[in-house]
Amino acid sequence: MKLNQLRQPESQKKFALWVVSTLILFFGFYTNLWRVAEQNWFDNHQKDTESHIMGRMVKSHQDGIFSAGGLNGWGTAKKPDADWIPPTERTPQYTAYLHNLTFENFATYNSQPGGQGMIFSLLDRLIPFSQHSKLNFFYILTALLSAIAITFIINWFYEEFGLLTAIFVLGSALLSQWLTVFGKNLWWSLWAFYLPMIVVLYFLKRYRVPDNRQYIRFGILIFIAVSIKCFINGYEYITTTLIMMVTPCIYYAVLDKWSKNEYMRFIFAAGIGTGVAVLLSMLMLCFQIGAVKDGFIDGVEHVIWSFGKRTYASPEDYPPVYAASLKAGTIGVVITYMKGVFFDLNNYLSVTNAFVSKHLFKVRYFYLVVLFMAMSALLFFRSNRKMGTERSQQDIALIWTTWFSILAPLSWFVIFKAHSYIHTHMSFLLWQMPFTFFGFAVFGSAVIAWTKKTVSKQS
């Protein structure tokens, strides 16, 4: 009876955290309720990319969900439907969808399978509402899934480190202007990036004492999670997603003092599961491209060409528009992303001092890197004084995991340097995958550790 009484408040706290976190994040993602992002930016961010989903739904309604290989894309309206779209229209694909127009031709986007477009096309067929209502529902669904995915991560921090640390992580998600502008975008489907890491977080938390069957289960779950990610939004930020996925392995390896053999088995299982998922996904994409071109080999050639233009290919082998990105220096690209703005106080406060407005109110990612370094040092020093306790071991594991997690965004900035050079309007999102989450968890844990020390001294 007493055990049940103890569990009840704990379950109530967890439920409250789930509800509060999901609702706070949902309203931020759906409406920018907390004004984290400038409103015009929020309203228009990545509309051009999301237009591919609108185009896909029009094409699916016209010719079937698997027409044009099921790929996303843009269409040109037929006459007289084209008269609905003024020459100055910035979002013709939205107009075509909202007014049930038909396409004369359709240009496919060939660099991802387009699963999100297929799913929204299916829902578009099944839901008996107006086009405006359905589009609004799709935004609600996507924002909610994104909020739930991040709440899964916040809940893990709550279970491992307690409420205060979880609140710090929730605050970091709430204040991130990049999560806010991506949260409801139909093309990006933010939740899919975090799915593989969530699977690993909760699997390793449950199976703390591994056996051979669990390695097999682990590999199968990785295969399923990565397959879903690749189907939903393709290979967008794939290196970041995969390093983010194995980040929990570092935490539990340090916490539970895995042997080298245990660590290698988990990594091997993750590698096999990931490799099979990506390979099958790419084969499917090649067949999809082949359906709209001249065959499977055209799909293979496009994948190779697409990889080259995003990385370190020779500028002579690509159109002149890609020359600057292929010639760009990797260090310069990384520095650009270090200077990006995580949170902007100018959205709330107005000051006339240019230095304050530009350098103090704009919380940049390299500020956070310095902050997390300082907090890691404080937490490490505090934990070292109480070595042997369970909490100190958790804190040490958290520090190791945080600085491993920075490799997730850096992997894309470095490996896909050319893509990162061009896409400075969106790739700052990668710092939230999952470096800032773990960094703010270190911040919260350091506050807890040093607050307890102060209280102990006073008593």
Tens-digit pLDDT profile for residues 288-301? 999 999 889 988 99
Among the ranges given (7-11, 153-157, 268-272), the one the predictor scored with the smallest mean pLDDT: 7-11
Q: Please give the structure tokens belonging to residue 68.
A: 């044009």
Cβ atoms of 243 and 408 closer than 8 Å: yes
Sequence-distant (6+) residues with CB within 8 A of 141 are none
> Which structure tokens are listed for 356?
């304050």
More confident residue, 92 or 437: 437
**408-418 average pLDDT score:** 96
Which pLDDT belongs to residue 454? Answer: 45
pLDDT value at residue 351: 86
Prediction pTM value: 0.93
pLDDT tens figures, 67-85: 999 999 999 887 766 665 6
Q: Would you state the structure tokens that stand for residue 291, as one six-digit string?
A: 């359906």
DSSP string, 214-266: HHHHHHHHHHHHHHHHHHHHTTTTHHHHHHHHHHHHHHHHHHTT--HHHHHHH
Helices (H) and strands (E) in the chain, counts: 21, 4
Tens of pLDDT along 221-249? 999 999 999 999 999 999 999 999 999 99
CB-based contact 266:215 (threshold 8 Å)? yes
Residue 67 tokens read as: 């027409």
Query: Can you tell me the distance from the alpha carbon of 413 to that of 422, in angstroms, rounded to the nearest whole number?
Result: 11
Taking the chain, what is the end-to-end CA distance rounded to the nearest angstrom?
34
406 neighbors 435 (Cβ within 8 angstroms): yes
What is the pLDDT, as a whole number, of residue 8? 64
Find the mean pLDDT for residues 44-60: 95
- What percentage of the chain exceeds 70 in pLDDT? 92
pLDDT the model gives residue 391? 79
What is residue 351's DSSP assignment? -
Q: Kind and range of the H or E element at 312?
A: none
Q: Using CB atoms within 10 Å of the CB of residue 125, give its burial: 0 to 12 exposed, 13 to 18 middle, 19+ buried.
A: middle
Query: By C-alpha distance, which of 43, 143, 128 is closest to 94?
Result: 43
Select from 46, 174, 67 the least CA-distant residue to 118: 67
